[in-house]
Amino acid sequence: MKGKFISLEGGEGSGKTTAIAYIQQWLESNNIAYLMTREPGGTPLSEQIRELILTPRKEPVNNTTELLLVFAARAQHIAEKIQPALNQGLWVISDRFIDSSYVYQGKARNGDIQVLNQLTQWVVGENKPDATLVLDVPVEIGQQRVIERQHQDRLDKESTAFHQKVRDGFLERADAEPNRVKIIDASLSLEAVQQQIETQLNALKHAWSDSEGGA
């Protein structure tokens, strides 16, 4: 039986990494075997590419270069980690995945959506997430939450206008694919955010066990 793939999306400081820890507890208490991972990254080579992408540098980073680095990391991540885990029947949980490419390299950097669609078809193919939770917060709240971070990466350092496009981009992804992409109001308290996540996870578990029973 193939596993299930859930991605966590949202801007900087929306609470993705915090949510992942909560999801891990939920998976353990539900006795579901899982693999936690993140993008860009997830394998040693992909984590090296992550460093290349996120390290602040003097040299301007060309948009096409950034896009191809993200997809290069993703190709390795899928081949070496995600696909094998799904084939073993695990639930795979990724801190960011393909929607981040549409939002950052597409919407925020004006990347060509046709190119993104073609790369997605080529690199991701059948390994699209079964469900995606978008943690949505106003940009100012997200920025406030990460202000204490010691190391702001190259994307953290982008302008408020850039981060606004990121937020809008994720909301558009949810509008375009409402069955897969669910919005979590992440401006609320930790408890209220966790409650929404738990509701979504219970619904997914239920839907997926029903569809297996019927197959």
Ligand X SMILES: Nc1ncnc2c1ncn2[C@@H]1O[C@H](COP(=O)(O)OP(=O)(O)O)[C@@H](O)[C@H]1O
Task: Report, in Å, the least distance between residue 154 CB and ligand X.
Answer: 14
Q: Which residues here bind Mg ion, judged by CB under 5 A?
A: 16-17
187: number of Cβ within 10 Å: 15
Residues in CB range of 69: below 8 A, 6 or more apart = 40, 49, 52, 53
- How many other CB atoms sit within 10 Å of the CB of residue 83? 18
Choice between 68 and 171, CB closer to ligand X: 171
**In the bound complex, what is the minimum distance in angstroms from residue 156's beta carbon to ligand X?**
9
Please state, in angstroms and rounded to a whole number, the distance separating the CA atoms of residues 11 and 158. Answer: 12
Minimum CB separation from Mg ion for residue 117, in Å? 27
Q: Is the peptide bond before 56 cis (omega within 30 degrees of 0)?
A: no
CB of 208 to ligand X, least distance (A): 25
Q: Write down the least CB distance from residue 138 to ligand X, Å.
A: 12
Binding-site partner at residue 190 among ligand X, Mg ion, none, CB < 5 to 8 Å by type: ligand X
> Which of 97, 101, 95 is closest to 19 using CA atoms?
95
Provide the binding-site residues for ligand X, judged by CB under 6 A: 10, 12-18, 145-146, 186, 189-190, 193
Give the H or E element holding residue 123. Answer: helix 113-123
Which of residues 112 and 164 has its CB atom nearest to ligand X in the complex? 164
Q: Give 16's DSSP letter.
A: H
User: Which residue type sits at 33?
Assistant: A
Of 83 and 104, nearer to Mg ion (C-beta) is 104
* Three-state SS at 94: strand
d(CA 146, CA 9): 16
Residue placing its CB nearer to ligand X in the complex, 77 or 119: 77
Nearer to ligand X, 99 or 119 (CB): 99
